Amino acid sequence: MKLKILEKDDRRIKLLIEDAPLPLVNAIRRLAISDVPTLAIDEVAFLDNTSVLYDEIIAHRLGLIPLTTDLSRFKPPEECEGANPINNPECYTRLFLDVEAKRDYEIIYSGDLQSEDPTVKPVSDKIPIAILAKGQKITLEAYARLGRGKEHIKWSPVSVSAHKYVPEIKIDMRRCDLCGKCVEECPKNILFIENNSLKVRNVLECTLCRACEEVCEQQAIKVSWIENSYILTIESTGALPPETIVSEAAKILERKAEEFIKHVEELKR
């Protein structure tokens, strides 16, 4: 198997994976969505809420705010089942909200949350939580813990986890009359005519839509894909770096495979 980073920044990674079976790439993609743990607010104690919103609505909104997550700092979710949020710092961390509107109305944002742990904070300060009228207050203590997307999507670390085939475009210049119809039709603008020849740039941008094939009366262009090669795109919510999401997903797959082997070995005894 060969792995190459095509694009990477602090939120997104695009990998070219060659000589790999589709089920393996798909398993990594799915585990990134459902099994790689992140922090999210799971319990909220309200001390005061004079806003027009029910406590449950505010608690639900708080749960959906992505939080920066240091996986080495917390125990895995399975080891925290039944743990008391108050006195289990390896399972829970607290965030506080204590706001009162001083003007006619004020928008309360994720940035108003105060965290007791400097490694845990909302990935964005600009996520609205509530609008308060003058004099209205919200005071609460929120408890965040590690969880997995298969339990609730608020714990999923990804906003995008997708793979696609690696496109291959073949042009038969003996048939092509350079009419340019495919160039006009391509939504990704990757076909162009130069020096009396039809050429392709950035072939990985091709969406395999086959619009070029459909407009070509000469049947001079053929779009297909390379066997066992895939492009995996992971976009993080900001809770974890995208490369960590991929490596954690791979580790989880490895652990599941080891467990499976162990059970099979036991059956043989």
Asked whether position 70 contacts ligand SF4 by CB under 6 A, the answer is no
The region of 63-71, 147-155, 181-189, 242-250 touching ligand SF4 under the rule CB under 6 A is: 181-189
Distance CA(123)–CA(115), nearest Å, equals 12
Site for ligand SF4 contains 166 (CB under 6 A): no
33 lies in the site for ligand SF4, by CB under 6 A: no
Cα angle 52, 57, 62 (rounded to 5 degrees) comes to 115
Encoding tokens for residue 39? 């922090």
Binding segment (CB under 6 A) for ligand SF4, from list 89-97, 110-118, 174-182, 248-256: 174-182
> By CB under 6 A, is residue 246 in contact with ligand SF4?
no
Of 44, 120, 223, 231, the one binding ligand SF4 (CB under 6 A) is 223
Q: How many CB atoms are located within 10 Å of the residue 175 CB?
A: 12
Nearest one of 206, 207, 205, 176 to 193, comparing CA atoms: 176
Non-local CB neighbours of 240 within 8 Å, separated by 6+ positions = 36, 38, 69, 71, 157, 248
H or E element at residue 267: helix 242-268
CB closer to ligand SF4 out of 166 and 198: 198
Instruction: State the Cα–Cα distance between residues 216 and 221, nearest whole angstrom.
Output: 7
> Tokens 């408890």 identify what position?
143
Q: Of 58 and 186, which has the nearer Cβ to ligand SF4?
A: 186
- Pick from 94, 148, 154, 181 the residue near ligand SF4 by CB under 6 A: 181
CB of 233 to ligand SF4, least distance (A): 16
DSSP state of 73: G
Closer Cβ to ligand SF4, 72 or 196, answer by number: 196
CA atoms in the 13 A half-sphere facing the CB of 160 = 11
The residue range among 17-25, 63-71, 201-209, 228-236 that interacts with ligand SF4, by the rule CB under 6 A, is: 201-209
**Choice from 13, 144, 221, 232 touching ligand SF4 (CB under 6 A):** 221
Query: Hey, what amino acid is at 180?
Result: G
If binding is defined by CB under 6 A, does position 176 make contact with ligand SF4? Answer: yes
Q: How far apart are CA 210 and CA 216, in angstroms?
A: 10
Does residue 186 interact with ligand SF4 by CB under 6 A? yes
Between strands 191-194 and 105-109, the pairing is unpaired
- Residue from 28, 120, 198, 234 in contact with ligand SF4 (CB under 6 A): 198
Q: Which of 108, 190, 240, 246 binds ligand SF4 (CB under 6 A)?
A: 190
Instruction: Please state the closest distance from residue 29 (CB atom) to ligand SF4, in A.
Output: 22
Q: Which residues bind ligand SF4 (CB under 6 A)?
A: 169, 171, 176-182, 185-188, 190-191, 198, 206-212, 215-216, 218, 220-221, 223
